[in-house]
Amino acid sequence: MKTKIIKINPKNIEISKIKAAARILRKGGLVAFPTETVYGLGADALNPKAVKKIFEAKGRPADNPLIVHIADKEEVYRLAKEVPEEAEKLMDKFWPGPLTLVLKKSKIVPDIITGGLDSVAIRMPANKIALALIKEAKVPVAAPSANLFSKPSPTSAEHVIQDLYGKIDVIIDSGETEIGVESTVLDLTTKPATLLRPGGITLEELERVLGKIKIHPIIKGKKVKNIIAKSPGMKYKHYSPNADVILVEGAYQEVKKRIQKLVYKHKKEGKNIGVMTANENHEYKADLIKFVGNDFNTIAKNLFKIFREFDKEKVDIIIAEGVSDKGLGLAIMNRLRKAAYEIIKNPRKASIIKIFK
Protein backbone atom coordinates (compact mmCIF):
# COMPACT_ATOMS: atom_id res chain seq x y z
CA MET A 1 0.00 0.00 0.00
CA LYS A 2 1.22 3.50 -0.80
CA THR A 3 0.59 5.89 2.06
CA LYS A 4 -0.23 9.49 1.17
CA ILE A 5 1.06 12.19 3.53
CA ILE A 6 -1.06 15.33 3.69
CA LYS A 7 0.45 18.34 5.48
CA ILE A 8 -2.08 20.65 7.11
CA ASN A 9 -1.25 23.83 9.02
CA PRO A 10 -3.41 23.78 12.19
CA LYS A 11 -3.55 27.59 12.07
CA ASN A 12 -4.77 27.64 8.48
CA ILE A 13 -6.77 24.48 7.77
CA GLU A 14 -7.26 23.80 4.08
CA ILE A 15 -10.72 22.27 3.84
CA SER A 16 -9.96 20.68 0.45
CA LYS A 17 -7.31 18.51 2.12
CA ILE A 18 -9.70 17.61 4.94
CA LYS A 19 -12.36 16.60 2.40
CA ALA A 20 -9.88 14.38 0.54
CA ALA A 21 -9.02 12.51 3.77
CA ALA A 22 -12.71 12.30 4.74
CA ARG A 23 -13.52 10.61 1.43
CA ILE A 24 -10.96 7.92 2.25
CA LEU A 25 -12.70 7.29 5.59
CA ARG A 26 -16.13 7.03 3.96
CA LYS A 27 -14.75 4.52 1.44
CA GLY A 28 -13.50 2.26 4.25
CA GLY A 29 -9.87 3.41 4.34
CA LEU A 30 -7.53 4.26 7.23
CA VAL A 31 -6.49 7.83 8.03
CA ALA A 32 -4.01 8.81 10.75
CA PHE A 33 -4.82 12.24 12.14
CA PRO A 34 -3.76 14.52 14.99
CA THR A 35 -5.73 15.01 18.17
CA GLU A 36 -4.81 17.15 21.16
CA THR A 37 -3.51 14.02 22.93
CA VAL A 38 -1.69 11.77 20.41
CA TYR A 39 -2.16 10.88 16.74
CA GLY A 40 -5.10 8.55 16.12
CA LEU A 41 -5.63 5.89 13.44
CA GLY A 42 -9.14 6.44 12.14
CA ALA A 43 -11.73 4.29 10.37
CA ASP A 44 -15.50 4.52 9.91
CA ALA A 45 -16.71 3.21 13.29
CA LEU A 46 -19.92 1.80 11.81
CA ASN A 47 -18.10 -0.19 9.11
CA PRO A 48 -16.79 -3.45 10.64
CA LYS A 49 -14.58 -4.23 7.60
CA ALA A 50 -12.90 -0.82 7.88
CA VAL A 51 -12.44 -1.21 11.64
CA LYS A 52 -10.86 -4.64 11.14
CA LYS A 53 -8.13 -2.92 9.09
CA ILE A 54 -7.13 -0.94 12.21
CA PHE A 55 -6.42 -4.15 14.12
CA GLU A 56 -4.49 -5.58 11.17
CA ALA A 57 -2.36 -2.46 10.60
CA LYS A 58 -1.46 -2.09 14.28
CA GLY A 59 -1.16 -5.80 15.11
CA ARG A 60 -3.70 -5.11 17.87
CA PRO A 61 -5.53 -7.92 19.75
CA ALA A 62 -9.24 -8.11 18.91
CA ASP A 63 -10.30 -7.97 22.58
CA ASN A 64 -8.74 -4.52 23.04
CA PRO A 65 -11.65 -2.05 22.52
CA LEU A 66 -11.47 1.14 20.48
CA ILE A 67 -12.59 4.69 21.26
CA VAL A 68 -15.21 6.20 18.98
CA HIS A 69 -14.56 9.87 18.11
CA ILE A 70 -17.39 12.26 17.30
CA ALA A 71 -17.72 15.91 16.30
CA ASP A 72 -21.26 16.55 17.58
CA LYS A 73 -22.54 15.79 21.09
CA GLU A 74 -25.85 14.60 19.62
CA GLU A 75 -24.00 11.57 18.24
CA VAL A 76 -23.72 10.25 21.80
CA TYR A 77 -27.45 9.58 21.89
CA ARG A 78 -27.17 7.49 18.73
CA LEU A 79 -24.15 5.48 19.88
CA ALA A 80 -25.14 4.98 23.53
CA LYS A 81 -28.17 3.11 24.84
CA GLU A 82 -28.20 5.21 28.00
CA VAL A 83 -26.78 8.69 28.67
CA PRO A 84 -26.89 9.34 32.43
CA GLU A 85 -27.02 12.78 34.01
CA GLU A 86 -23.36 12.45 35.02
CA ALA A 87 -22.43 12.12 31.35
CA GLU A 88 -24.33 15.30 30.51
CA LYS A 89 -22.44 17.22 33.18
CA LEU A 90 -19.07 15.94 32.01
CA MET A 91 -19.79 16.61 28.34
CA ASP A 92 -20.83 20.17 29.17
CA LYS A 93 -17.68 20.73 31.21
CA PHE A 94 -14.95 18.90 29.28
CA TRP A 95 -16.05 18.38 25.66
CA PRO A 96 -14.51 18.90 23.26
CA GLY A 97 -11.42 17.69 25.09
CA PRO A 98 -9.32 14.74 26.29
CA LEU A 99 -12.08 12.86 28.15
CA THR A 100 -13.54 9.53 27.01
CA LEU A 101 -16.81 8.30 28.51
CA VAL A 102 -17.73 4.62 28.68
CA LEU A 103 -21.49 4.12 28.30
CA LYS A 104 -23.89 1.28 27.49
CA LYS A 105 -23.74 0.83 23.72
CA SER A 106 -26.61 1.02 21.27
CA LYS A 107 -27.33 -1.65 18.63
CA ILE A 108 -25.64 0.32 15.85
CA VAL A 109 -22.17 -0.04 17.41
CA PRO A 110 -20.39 -3.08 15.91
CA ASP A 111 -19.02 -5.67 18.34
CA ILE A 112 -15.56 -5.33 16.78
CA ILE A 113 -15.37 -1.81 18.28
CA THR A 114 -16.13 -2.96 21.83
CA GLY A 115 -14.37 -6.32 21.99
CA GLY A 116 -17.80 -7.94 22.33
CA LEU A 117 -18.70 -5.92 25.46
CA ASP A 118 -22.03 -4.15 25.99
CA SER A 119 -20.30 -0.78 26.52
CA VAL A 120 -18.74 1.75 24.16
CA ALA A 121 -16.05 4.40 24.76
CA ILE A 122 -16.82 7.80 23.19
CA ARG A 123 -15.04 11.13 23.05
CA MET A 124 -15.11 14.45 21.21
CA PRO A 125 -11.56 15.65 20.50
CA ALA A 126 -10.64 19.33 20.81
CA ASN A 127 -8.13 19.37 17.95
CA LYS A 128 -9.59 21.44 15.10
CA ILE A 129 -8.22 19.18 12.38
CA ALA A 130 -9.70 16.10 14.05
CA LEU A 131 -13.08 17.79 14.44
CA ALA A 132 -13.08 19.01 10.84
CA LEU A 133 -12.18 15.53 9.56
CA ILE A 134 -14.96 13.82 11.52
CA LYS A 135 -17.52 16.45 10.44
CA GLU A 136 -16.56 16.07 6.78
CA ALA A 137 -16.54 12.27 6.98
CA LYS A 138 -20.10 12.39 8.35
CA VAL A 139 -19.46 9.18 10.31
CA PRO A 140 -18.23 8.49 13.85
CA VAL A 141 -14.54 7.58 13.68
CA ALA A 142 -12.97 4.71 15.61
CA ALA A 143 -9.41 5.68 16.43
CA PRO A 144 -6.80 4.11 18.69
CA SER A 145 -3.32 5.62 18.75
CA ALA A 146 -1.62 5.49 15.34
CA ASN A 147 1.30 3.25 16.26
CA LEU A 148 2.20 -0.42 16.22
CA PHE A 149 0.58 -2.26 19.11
CA SER A 150 2.43 -1.98 22.45
CA LYS A 151 4.87 0.68 21.15
CA PRO A 152 5.09 4.29 22.42
CA SER A 153 2.14 6.37 21.25
CA PRO A 154 2.83 8.83 18.40
CA THR A 155 2.97 12.52 19.23
CA SER A 156 4.06 13.60 15.75
CA ALA A 157 3.42 12.47 12.18
CA GLU A 158 7.05 11.33 12.04
CA HIS A 159 6.25 8.69 14.67
CA VAL A 160 3.24 7.50 12.64
CA ILE A 161 5.41 7.24 9.54
CA GLN A 162 7.97 5.15 11.47
CA ASP A 163 5.31 2.62 12.50
CA LEU A 164 2.60 2.59 9.85
CA TYR A 165 3.91 3.92 6.54
CA GLY A 166 2.86 1.50 3.81
CA LYS A 167 0.13 -0.02 6.01
CA ILE A 168 -2.50 2.74 5.89
CA ASP A 169 -3.99 5.08 3.29
CA VAL A 170 -3.32 8.59 4.63
CA ILE A 171 -1.29 10.34 7.31
CA ILE A 172 -2.29 13.92 8.12
CA ASP A 173 0.80 15.77 9.31
CA SER A 174 0.20 18.84 11.48
CA GLY A 175 3.26 18.73 13.70
CA GLU A 176 3.43 17.74 17.36
CA THR A 177 0.41 17.10 19.55
CA GLU A 178 -0.33 19.34 22.51
CA ILE A 179 -0.81 17.04 25.52
CA GLY A 180 1.26 13.97 24.67
CA VAL A 181 -0.62 11.31 26.67
CA GLU A 182 -3.96 9.81 25.72
CA SER A 183 -7.40 10.84 26.92
CA THR A 184 -8.77 10.07 30.36
CA VAL A 185 -11.24 7.17 30.26
CA LEU A 186 -14.12 7.19 32.76
CA ASP A 187 -16.59 4.33 33.09
CA LEU A 188 -20.09 5.63 33.77
CA THR A 189 -21.70 2.18 33.72
CA THR A 190 -20.61 1.70 37.35
CA LYS A 191 -21.69 3.37 40.59
CA PRO A 192 -19.66 5.31 41.50
CA ALA A 193 -17.94 6.06 38.19
CA THR A 194 -14.61 4.24 37.69
CA LEU A 195 -11.43 5.77 36.31
CA LEU A 196 -10.09 3.23 33.79
CA ARG A 197 -7.24 5.29 32.35
CA PRO A 198 -5.83 8.59 33.60
CA GLY A 199 -5.07 11.17 30.94
CA GLY A 200 -5.42 14.80 29.89
CA ILE A 201 -8.30 15.50 32.32
CA THR A 202 -7.15 14.81 35.86
CA LEU A 203 -8.91 12.79 38.53
CA GLU A 204 -9.12 15.91 40.67
CA GLU A 205 -10.93 17.80 37.90
CA LEU A 206 -13.43 14.97 37.46
CA GLU A 207 -14.12 14.69 41.17
CA ARG A 208 -14.92 18.39 41.36
CA VAL A 209 -17.84 17.63 39.02
CA LEU A 210 -18.96 14.15 40.15
CA GLY A 211 -17.66 13.71 43.68
CA LYS A 212 -15.77 10.54 44.66
CA ILE A 213 -14.58 8.38 41.76
CA LYS A 214 -13.31 4.81 42.05
CA ILE A 215 -9.82 4.20 40.66
CA HIS A 216 -9.34 0.90 38.85
CA PRO A 217 -6.44 -0.98 40.52
CA ILE A 218 -4.71 -1.57 37.16
CA ILE A 219 -3.93 2.18 37.00
CA LYS A 220 -1.40 1.97 39.83
CA GLY A 221 0.28 -1.13 38.49
CA LYS A 222 -1.62 -3.77 40.48
CA LYS A 223 -2.25 -7.13 38.84
CA VAL A 224 -5.90 -7.99 38.22
CA LYS A 225 -6.95 -11.53 37.28
CA ASN A 226 -9.51 -12.07 34.52
CA ILE A 227 -9.67 -8.35 33.80
CA ILE A 228 -12.52 -7.05 31.64
CA ALA A 229 -10.98 -4.34 29.49
CA LYS A 230 -13.59 -1.65 28.82
CA SER A 231 -10.84 0.76 27.85
CA PRO A 232 -7.66 0.67 25.78
CA GLY A 233 -4.49 0.44 27.85
CA MET A 234 -5.88 -1.91 30.51
CA LYS A 235 -5.20 -5.50 29.51
CA TYR A 236 -1.87 -5.59 27.72
CA LYS A 237 1.61 -4.13 27.93
CA HIS A 238 1.55 -0.71 26.29
CA TYR A 239 3.66 2.33 25.44
CA SER A 240 6.91 0.32 25.44
CA PRO A 241 10.11 1.22 23.59
CA ASN A 242 12.40 -1.53 22.28
CA ALA A 243 14.70 -1.04 25.27
CA ASP A 244 13.77 -2.52 28.64
CA VAL A 245 12.39 0.16 30.97
CA ILE A 246 13.26 0.14 34.66
CA LEU A 247 11.09 2.53 36.66
CA VAL A 248 12.34 3.69 40.06
CA GLU A 249 9.70 5.18 42.36
CA GLY A 250 10.08 6.86 45.74
CA ALA A 251 11.76 9.79 47.50
CA TYR A 252 14.08 11.59 45.07
CA GLN A 253 17.34 11.16 46.99
CA GLU A 254 16.77 7.42 47.30
CA VAL A 255 15.68 7.19 43.67
CA LYS A 256 18.85 9.00 42.58
CA LYS A 257 21.10 6.66 44.58
CA ARG A 258 19.39 3.54 43.24
CA ILE A 259 19.58 4.76 39.64
CA GLN A 260 23.31 5.44 40.00
CA LYS A 261 23.81 1.88 41.29
CA LEU A 262 21.70 0.46 38.44
CA VAL A 263 23.70 2.38 35.85
CA TYR A 264 26.96 1.05 37.28
CA LYS A 265 25.64 -2.53 37.49
CA HIS A 266 24.29 -2.71 33.94
CA LYS A 267 27.26 -0.92 32.36
CA LYS A 268 29.49 -3.62 33.89
CA GLU A 269 27.31 -6.13 32.01
CA GLY A 270 28.16 -4.34 28.76
CA LYS A 271 24.72 -2.73 28.31
CA ASN A 272 24.10 0.69 26.80
CA ILE A 273 22.18 2.60 29.46
CA GLY A 274 19.85 5.57 29.08
CA VAL A 275 18.45 7.58 31.97
CA MET A 276 15.28 9.66 31.74
CA THR A 277 15.28 12.37 34.38
CA ALA A 278 13.05 15.22 35.49
CA ASN A 279 16.02 16.99 37.06
CA GLU A 280 18.37 19.12 34.96
CA ASN A 281 21.04 19.15 37.69
CA HIS A 282 21.50 15.37 37.76
CA GLU A 283 24.72 13.51 38.47
CA TYR A 284 24.13 10.38 36.40
CA LYS A 285 26.97 8.76 34.38
CA ALA A 286 24.92 6.81 31.85
CA ASP A 287 25.63 6.43 28.11
CA LEU A 288 22.70 8.70 27.26
CA ILE A 289 20.75 11.04 29.54
CA LYS A 290 17.57 12.80 28.51
CA PHE A 291 15.81 15.54 30.43
CA VAL A 292 12.08 14.96 30.06
CA GLY A 293 10.95 18.18 31.76
CA ASN A 294 10.43 19.46 35.29
CA ASP A 295 6.65 19.97 35.25
CA PHE A 296 3.84 17.56 34.47
CA ASN A 297 2.69 19.23 31.26
CA THR A 298 6.18 19.14 29.76
CA ILE A 299 6.86 15.58 30.92
CA ALA A 300 3.58 14.35 29.43
CA LYS A 301 4.30 16.08 26.12
CA ASN A 302 7.84 14.65 25.89
CA LEU A 303 7.45 11.16 27.39
CA PHE A 304 6.71 9.06 24.29
CA LYS A 305 8.96 11.16 22.08
CA ILE A 306 11.91 10.52 24.39
CA PHE A 307 11.19 6.78 24.47
CA ARG A 308 11.48 6.79 20.68
CA GLU A 309 14.67 8.88 20.81
CA PHE A 310 16.27 6.32 23.13
CA ASP A 311 15.36 3.58 20.64
CA LYS A 312 17.03 5.53 17.81
CA GLU A 313 20.21 5.61 19.91
CA LYS A 314 20.00 1.82 20.43
CA VAL A 315 20.13 1.85 24.21
CA ASP A 316 19.48 -1.52 25.86
CA ILE A 317 17.97 -0.26 29.10
CA ILE A 318 16.11 2.94 29.99
CA ILE A 319 16.07 3.82 33.68
CA ALA A 320 13.31 6.30 34.47
CA GLU A 321 12.69 8.41 37.55
CA GLY A 322 9.18 8.20 38.94
CA VAL A 323 7.18 11.36 39.62
CA SER A 324 4.32 12.24 41.97
CA ASP A 325 1.00 10.69 40.94
CA LYS A 326 -0.99 13.82 41.72
CA GLY A 327 -2.76 15.67 38.91
CA LEU A 328 -1.38 14.83 35.47
CA GLY A 329 1.36 12.86 37.26
CA LEU A 330 -1.11 9.97 37.63
CA ALA A 331 -1.31 9.64 33.82
CA ILE A 332 2.47 9.90 33.46
CA MET A 333 3.08 7.21 36.09
CA ASN A 334 0.41 4.97 34.57
CA ARG A 335 2.22 5.11 31.20
CA LEU A 336 5.60 4.48 32.81
CA ARG A 337 4.28 1.51 34.80
CA LYS A 338 2.63 0.00 31.73
CA ALA A 339 5.89 0.39 29.76
CA ALA A 340 8.13 -1.01 32.48
CA TYR A 341 9.99 -4.32 32.48
CA GLU A 342 10.88 -3.81 36.13
CA ILE A 343 9.52 -1.46 38.79
CA ILE A 344 11.50 -0.60 41.90
CA LYS A 345 9.41 0.95 44.67
CA ASN A 346 10.86 2.41 47.87
CA PRO A 347 14.48 1.95 46.74
CA ARG A 348 15.84 1.83 50.31
CA LYS A 349 13.82 -1.35 50.93
CA ALA A 350 14.44 -2.59 47.38
CA SER A 351 10.85 -3.64 46.71
CA ILE A 352 11.14 -4.89 43.12
CA ILE A 353 8.33 -5.94 40.80
CA LYS A 354 9.37 -7.91 37.71
CA ILE A 355 7.12 -7.53 34.67
CA PHE A 356 8.09 -9.82 31.82
CA LYS A 357 7.37 -8.94 28.20
Cα separation, 9 vs 72, whole angstroms: 23
pLDDT at residue 355 greater than cutoff 80: no
* CATH code at position 258: 3.40.50.11030
C-alpha atoms less than 13 angstroms from C-alpha of 319 in its C-beta half-sphere: 26
Tens digits of residue pLDDT in 240-277: 899 999 999 999 899 999 999 999 999 999 999 999 99
Q: Report the Cα 90 to chain-centroid distance in Å.
A: 20
Residue 141 structural domain: 4-183
pLDDT reported for residue 356? 41
- Domain assignment present for 231: no
Q: How confident is the model at residue 218 (pLDDT cuts 50, 70, 90)?
A: confident
| Number of residues that this document lists for the chain | 357
Q: Are residues 49 and 172 both part of a single domain?
A: yes
Tell me how many helices (H) and strands (E) the chain has.
11, 17
What's the pTM value of the predicted model, to 2 decimals?
Answer: 0.94
Q: Are residues 173 and 303 both part of a single domain?
A: no
More confident residue, 269 or 235: 269
- Domain assignment present for 15: yes
Q: Are residues 175 and 255 both part of a single domain?
A: no
Give 39's strand partners. Answer: 34
C-alpha atoms less than 13 angstroms from C-alpha of 142 in its C-beta half-sphere: 29
Sort strands 141-142 and 39-44 into parallel, antiparallel or unpaired. Answer: antiparallel
Q: Are residues 24 and 130 both part of a single domain?
A: yes
- Domain assignment present for 188: no
- Domain assignment present for 205: no
**CA-based nearest residue to 120, from 138, 108, 132:** 108
- Domain assignment present for 212: no
Cα separation, 124 vs 117, whole angstroms: 21
| Amino acid occupying residue 171 | I
Q: How many CB atoms sit inside 10 A of residue 314's CB?
A: 12
Q: Are residues 126 and 20 both part of a single domain?
A: yes
Domain end position, chosen among 161, 183, 205? 183
Q: Are residues 42 and 143 both part of a single domain?
A: yes
* Percent of the chain scoring above 90 in pLDDT: 85
What is the total count of domains within the chain? 2
Q: Report the Cα 51 to chain-centroid distance in Å.
A: 19
Tens digits of residue pLDDT in 147-180: 999 899 999 999 999 999 999 999 999 999 999 9
Domain end position, chosen among 183, 210, 235? 183
pLDDT reported for residue 349? 61
- Domain assignment present for 93: yes
- Domain assignment present for 239: no
Domain end position, chosen among 157, 183, 209? 183
